[in-house]
Amino acid sequence: DTGVSQNPRHKITKRGQNVTFRCDPISEHNRLYWYRQTLGQGPEFLTYFQNEAQLEKSRLLSDRFSAERPKGSFSTLEIQRTEQGDSAMYLCASSLVRGGGEAFFGQGTRLTVV
Amino acid sequence: AQSVAQPEDQVNVAEGNPLTVKCTYSVSGNPYLFWYVQYPNRGLQFLLKYITGDNLVKGSYGFEAEFNKSQTSFHLKKPSALVSDSALYFCAVRDEAGSSYKLIFGSGTRLLVRP
């Protein structure tokens, strides 16, 4: 399968712990996005990479959140000092710079903070 | 600011009947519009997109969408619903401010197809 891959699929953590999620985009895609989806809502944009450069961050991305995309390949999203409000589905998507702009999504990482 | 609205939280339809899931948009220029489907505990799957050209766009799994500029709508349709179409459907518009081309999603519409 050459789609977007996210790991882990599920993560349960205690409040105050740090968590890290990984996303492997479609190999030829140079754009990578992170979104957050809470129950009953549509996904909300968190951050965007073009190759290895992080070019846009949402105001939703507090200073406890950090994302990287070393070498323009896989990406990681880290949440420090997790809070119960961080419980959500974290979705990664990738797309090409050229083309119609449709993004292809991974299956997401569901985070539960207890 | 660009946005999309999905006025129906849920749509119920009998198998074999046509279905419509509504979406309206608000953009400052020409819209790039998308439909995605989400099955339980899964990511989003791309169904179709409108960039330019024909107002009727055909996509995956027999779905199509009609772009209507005067009504600022982009409704998702299927001539004959299947029980397996039951899922959460999201309309999205591409954000043309900046270079990210991020998607702005509606709140979603749950489609329930009864046998």
Average pLDDT over residues B80-84: 96
How high does pLDDT run on average in chain B? 94
For A29-53, write each residue's pLDDT tens digit.
999 999 999 988 999 999 999 999 9
User: Which residue in A40, A48, A91 is closest to B44 by CB distance?
Assistant: A91
Return the pLDDT at A60.
Answer: 84
Interface check for B43 against chain A (CB to CB < 8 A): the answer is yes
For B7-29, write each residue's pLDDT tens digit.
999 999 999 999 999 999 998 88
- B58 pLDDT exceeds 80? yes
Report yes or no: A28 and A17 within 8 Å, Cβ to Cβ: no
Report residue B112's pLDDT band, with 50, 70 and 90 as the boundaries: very high
Distance CA B43, CA A40 (A): 14
How high does pLDDT run on average in chain A? 93
Residue in chain A lying closest to B43 (CA): A107
Distance CA A35, CA A15 (A): 21
* CA-based nearest distance A80→chain B, Å: 24
User: Which residue in B43, B92, B99 is closest to A91 by CB distance?
Assistant: B43
Task: Please say whether the dihedral angle defined by the alpha carbons of residues A12, A16, A18 and A23, taken in this order, is positive or negative.
Answer: positive
Average pLDDT over residues A98-104: 77
B102 and A100 within 8 Å at the Cβ level: the answer is no
Q: What is the amino acid identity at position A29?
A: H
- A1 pLDDT exceeds 60? no
B32 and A100 within 8 Å at the Cβ level: the answer is yes
Question: For residue A21, which of A57, A55, A50, A46 has the smallest C-alpha distance?
Answer: A46
A42 and B105 within 8 Å at the Cβ level: the answer is yes
Which one of A104, A105, A107 makes the best mutation probe of the B interface by having the most chain B beta carbons within 10 Å? A105
- B40 pLDDT exceeds 90? no
For A74-94, write each residue's pLDDT tens digit.
999 999 999 999 999 999 999
Which one of A102, A107, A109 makes the best mutation probe of the B interface by having the most chain B beta carbons within 10 Å? A102
**pLDDT more than 70, % of chain A:** 96
Residue in chain B lying closest to A101 (CA): B101
Interface check for B108 against chain A (CB to CB < 8 A): the answer is yes
Q: Which residues of B touch A41 (CB under 8 A)?
A: 107-108
Question: For residue A77, which of A56, A39, A46 has the smallest C-alpha distance?
Answer: A46
Q: Which residues of B touch A108 (CB under 8 A)?
A: 42-43
